[in-house]
Amino acid sequence: MKLLQVEDLSFRYPDQEDWLFSGLNFSLSAGQIMAISGNNGSGKTSLLYLLAGIIPRHRQGEIAGNISLAGINHKNADLSQLSTIISLVMQQPEDQIFFPTVEQELAFAPENLCLSVPEIEQRIDQALRLLNIYPLRFADTDKLSFGQQKLVALAAIHTLQPAILLLDEISSGLDEVKLAAVIKLIREYAASGKAVIIADHHSRLIELAEYVINLSKT
Amino acid sequence: MSFKINLRTILVIVICLTGISVIYQQPLVQIVLLAVTIALLFILRPSAKARQKLLHRLSSIGRIILVIFIFQLLFRRTGNVIFEYSILRITDIGINYALASSLRFFLIILVAGLLMDYPFQDYLIALNAWKFPYEIAFIVAATIHFLPVFKSIFDNKMETLALRSISLKKLTLKQRLKAFRTLLIPVLANAIHNIQNRSISLELRAFRLHPTRTYLHENKLHTIDLIIIMVTLLLTLFTMLTLR
């Protein structure tokens, strides 16, 4: 089952003459993992922002081509609606952490989905256990290390359970143990019938993908 | 005795204390309200972190309170003259206003100490329990949350300056003001960028997807909270009727 279809996608920021990337074509099915590689500034984050809908809703730019998502109109839906299908873990974890405790941070998405308390509890437990951060459940978010913040930001999107999970430079600042936990989560997420797109430099993450789009070459 | 009472109870107390303080100008009223607030701070025992914050705030705001006092004292020229020299005139009304306004300012800072131990999420739940629209509750809570974010960005910039061997403390007032003006633009730009990213992050987690939402933790009022709220409201009513 196809979750995402990208056709002839091109993008450039305002006042830029050259396209950041152009003519991208790919699709993603349930259970697949895809990677986006490329040099710094090649447009990996911009592509993820386009897929997540942040561009053009919060960032400006010229877009050509088409993005289709299963079950929702990518062009017209608002970001909150899109997030239930496709959502992004951004590069900077401090930009994504809002609440004073890890538990509250993780509860936010399922609370917005109007889930019942047992369901919220179950999603929080699952995300914390998958990432081996259960002891952090009641920790203050302002006392977390950078690596812990990254895992909490990932867990906070995991509790939303979007059909497509987008990860932007998730490996940066993670030690080997934390990276192994992230890899486990990505594998299990895809195995559960959802899909993952990773934009990263780390070879261990790129190796997880069934196919890789290299933006440096486009 | 130390117990954590519900944030809604504290909010009722804070509204009553500040309400009376704003309505009545008499210094004696302000002194009584201050005494009540200090007693409450002793009873509720804020955490060490909150106490430290409160003391820091009091020490840094002391000068502002002094300036308010002097301004009110010098610029209220009506009333019975108590002291006069050249253009300087101090009147009984001036002293009254000066005392009342500086005490009120002092009271507001102290009252904030009652609220410092409650996290952002508690404000959301409390306002939601009072049937505030979720967006408004969130904006109020986010504003309270934003202030430390803004301060931390400012502190980071100050640390960057310190690492370059620039100490603002060694500068003259004029140079310091100039430095603050220069710092303000990048700090504000940084803060706006930070807030934009945070709002995106909230939307990426289905914020406002539905008109209502569920809460992992409910925040129920206990009997002790209900008793305190009732007593506070009755005392406020009694005070207002007495001072009318």
| A143 at interface of B, judged by CB pairs closer than 8 A | no
Please determine, for residue B8, whether its predicted confidence score (pLDDT) is greater than 70. yes
Using an 8 Å Cβ cutoff, are A95 and A58 in contact? no
Joined tokens for residue B160: 């960057």
- Measured CA to CA, the distance from residue A176 to residue A151 in angstroms comes to 13
Compute the CA torsion angle A16, A17, A23, A29 (nearest 10 deg): 0
Tell me how crowded residue B70 is: count the other CB atoms within 10 A of its CB.
12
Please determine, for residue A206, whether its predicted confidence score (pLDDT) is greater than 60. yes
Quick one: which H or E segment has residue A70? Answer: none
Q: What's the pLDDT at B155?
A: 82
Q: What's the pLDDT at A209?
A: 94
- Measured CA to CA, the distance from residue B14 to residue B25 in angstroms comes to 18
Q: What's the pLDDT at A82?
A: 94
Answer whether A120 sits within 8 Å of B204, measured CB to CB: no
Answer whether A78 sits within 8 Å of B203, measured CB to CB: yes
- Chain B CB contacts of A117 under 8 Å are 214, 216
Q: Buried b vs exposed e over A74-93: b needs ≥16 C-beta within 10 Å? A: beebebbbbbbbbbbbbbbb
Average pLDDT of span B63-76? 84
Average pLDDT of span B122-127? 82
Q: Which pTM was predicted?
A: 0.77
Domain boundaries, chain A: 2-217
For an interface test with B, which of A49, A55, A80 has the most B Cβ atoms less than 10 Å from its Cβ? A80
Answer whether A90 sits within 8 Å of B197, measured CB to CB: yes
Question: Alpha-carbon torsion A161, A162, A165, A171, what sign?
Answer: negative
Average pLDDT of span A52-56? 93
What is the bridge-based pairing of β-strands B88-91 and A62-69? unpaired
Please determine, for residue B3, whether its predicted confidence score (pLDDT) is greater than 60. no
Please determine, for residue B1, whether its predicted confidence score (pLDDT) is greater than 50. no
Residue B244 — pLDDT band, cuts 50, 70, 90?
A: confident
Q: What's the pLDDT at A218?
A: 47
The CATH number of domain A2-217 is 3.40.50.300: yes
Please determine, for residue A71, whether its predicted confidence score (pLDDT) is greater than 90. no
Using an 8 Å Cβ cutoff, are A74 and A6 in contact? no
Please determine, for residue A77, whether its predicted confidence score (pLDDT) is greater than 50. yes
Mean pLDDT over each residue of chain A, to the nearest integer: 92
Average pLDDT of span B175-203? 83
Q: In this predicted model, what pLDDT tens digit does every residue of A1-43 receive, in sequence order?
A: 789 999 999 999 998 889 999 999 999 999 999 999 998 888 9
Work out the minimum CA distance from B130 to partner chain A, whole angstroms. Answer: 19
Residue A217 — pLDDT band, cuts 50, 70, 90?
A: low
Q: In this predicted model, what pLDDT tens digit does every residue of B192-238 receive, in sequence order?
A: 888 888 889 999 999 989 988 888 887 788 899 999 999 999 999 99
